[in-house]
Structure 1
Amino acid sequence: MATHRVPLVLLACGSFNPITNQHMRLFELARDHMHSTGQYQVVGGIVSPVSDGYGKQGLVLAQHRVAMAKLALQSSNWVTVDEWESQQPDWTETVVTMRYHYGRVLNKYKCSTGMQGDFNGNANPLLSPRPQLKLLCGADFLDTFKIPDLWRDDHVEEVVGRFGLVSVSRGGLQPERAVHESDTLSRHSQNIFLVREWVRNETSATEVRRALRRGHSVKYLIPDSVMDYIHQHNLYTEDSERKNQGTVLRPLVKQAQQPVKSLDD
């Protein structure tokens, strides 16, 4: 029965530069898959744009990326945009963002039930599992765990072991291989849900920006409201693409600044 299912919130972190139809499609695919397991009831989705401190080339201001995401998701009755991460002065580790949102999920759970029921307000706590938060991502995200100095080992362990991943594959990517080749991912494979997108959609924000710079149409790749916003604010030009050019991504800098632990720690 649905009342026995674990309430689940899906969190997507990223640049959303700009948000595309494919970004939003990930949520729908993930929800269908998690429902099909018989274990989960997806009760919400969160889009969390990265802050300007990320330092990625061509990254337009967070205020624009947040505004575009909100416009795009006006048609969704369960996915919302959260500005907390985007407003941080520095880039925030994914695991820190997950802790923040999980805390909010738990608070909502406690407030709505008075600790006497579940996330949806059902009365019997014995039949009401605690809600969970999982990171929603594309299959290419799994490969980032292999990039030297991009992730801390304990952060990977927490993201995958404590929270979990829902990864949607597209194109020729093979997320199963990424899981197989990583000891950490393999150890927590039961907490990694691989979703196959059978309707091929290769839309990427990079290609959208390239088309916009060249004056080409992006209609049907992004919502009309987002397209209008881009034109209104003259975003994604040759000048904007040079922003942060030559800048080292903040995760790499921040990771390098972490103190090295001795064997005695």
Structure 2
Amino acid sequence: MSRRIGLFGGTFDPPHVGHLALAECAREALALDRVVFMPAGAPPHKRGRALSPAAARLAMTRLAVRGNPAFEVSAWETRRPGPSFTVDTLRWLARRHPGARLWLVLGADSLDEFPTWHRPHEILGLASLAVGARPGARAGGRGAARAAHAAPRGARRGMPRGRVVWLGNPPLDLSSSAVRARARAGRSIRYLVPDAVARYAERHGLYRAARGGGA
């Protein structure tokens, strides 16, 4: 039986409990053997926003997933030059896990942007999409996942049916930008991020100065 691998990419600046809840929901709903968290090196859709150093984002993500044997963190995107295109990462993951069934885990807002991504149809040839619910959206009927017809209309254009699954995750209204804003304002981020992540960010002074928007 082939392995089932989920790829979960993002800046993870910082990783928060919403990321972890979505990854765990995908793991459970899709019977994934592994969820690979992939901090982005140079995300094309976030050009112009200063990111925390890659080493810091990697360290925080490793701290966030610690204790879950099904989660791992890869530094592949942060170590390669140029933009971090998901299609390239999926090709790398397919070579690393030959014969595995691949899933790309992402939020509903990212699904809205999917048609503008680099080579989206090639992405769909490599992996199915597992999409987390957005706040205020109905997570779907019975079971933890539903079919692609529930995806946002704009994101459905050109997508083959059956390649998108809508996850029944708790739709937490939380973003990395909101966490950064609270930290910059001197407010507690406890319970929004794992304690180890909060301690790391505080110890390294990551969010004391404004870094701009983004999630």
| TM-score, reference length from structure 1 | 0.70
| CA distance 1:177–1:200, change in 2 (3 Å) | closer
| CA distance 1:183–1:200, change in 2 (3 Å) | closer
Give identity over the alignment, percent.
27
Counterparts of 1:163 and 1:94 in 2: how far apart (Å)? Answer: 11
User: How far 1:207 moved relative to its partner?
Assistant: 0.5
* Residue identity opposite 2:165 in structure 1: F
| CA distance 1:53–1:29, change in 2 (3 Å) | closer
C-alpha contact (below 8 Å) 2:11/2:43 kept by paired residues:
no
* Residue identity opposite 2:167 in structure 1: V
Counterparts of 1:15 and 1:102 in 2: how far apart (Å)? Answer: 22
Q: 2:58 aligns with which of 59, 63, 66?
A: 66
SS of equivalent residue, structure 1 residue 23: helix
* Residue identity opposite 2:8 in structure 1: A
Residues matched between the structures, number: 202
Counterparts of 2:178 and 2:195 in 1: how far apart (Å)? Answer: 17
* Residue identity opposite 1:74 in structure 2: R
Kindly name which structure, 1 or 2, has the bigger radius of gyration based on alpha carbons.
Answer: 1
Question: Which structure features the higher share of helix residues?
Answer: 1
Q: 2:124 aligns with which of 121, 146, 160?
A: 160
- What is residue 189 of structure 1 aligned with on the other side? 161
| CA distance 1:232–1:52, change in 2 (3 Å) | farther
The within-5 A match list for 1:136-151 is 136-146=105-115, 150-151=116-117
The within-5 A match list for 1:44-83 is 44-52=34-42, 55-83=47-75
C-alpha contact (below 8 Å) 1:53/1:90 kept by paired residues:
no
Counterparts of 2:76 and 2:35 in 1: how far apart (Å)? Answer: 15
Counterparts of 2:125 and 2:184 in 1: how far apart (Å)? Answer: 41
The unaligned stretches of length 5 or more in structure 1 are: 36-41, 107-129, 246-265
C-alpha contact (below 8 Å) 1:21/1:223 kept by paired residues:
yes
* Residue identity opposite 1:203 in structure 2: L
C-alpha contact (below 8 Å) 1:52/1:62 kept by paired residues:
no
- What is residue 143 of structure 2 aligned with on the other side? none
| TM-score, reference length from structure 2 | 0.85
- What is residue 21 of structure 1 aligned with on the other side? 17
Counterparts of 1:156 and 1:43 in 2: how far apart (Å)? Answer: 25
Q: 2:83 aligns with which of 73, 86, 91?
A: 91
Counterparts of 1:182 and 1:27 in 2: how far apart (Å)? Answer: 22
C-alpha contact (below 8 Å) 1:140/1:173 kept by paired residues:
no
* 1:76-117 deviation digits (Å, cap 9, x = unpaired): 1111000010112222211001101111011xxxxxxxxxxx
Query: What's the Cα RMSD here?
Result: 2.3
* Residue identity opposite 1:23 in structure 2: H
User: How far 1:27 moved relative to its partner?
Assistant: 1.4
User: How far 1:47 moved relative to its partner?
Assistant: 0.5
List, as ranges, runs of 4+ consecutive aligned residues in structure 1 with deviation greater than 2 Å: 52-56, 172-183
Give yes or no for the alignment of 1:134 onto 2:103.
Answer: yes
- What is residue 230 of structure 1 aligned with on the other side? 201
Q: 1:208 aligns with which of 166, 179, 194?
A: 179
User: How far 1:157 moved relative to its partner?
Assistant: 0.6
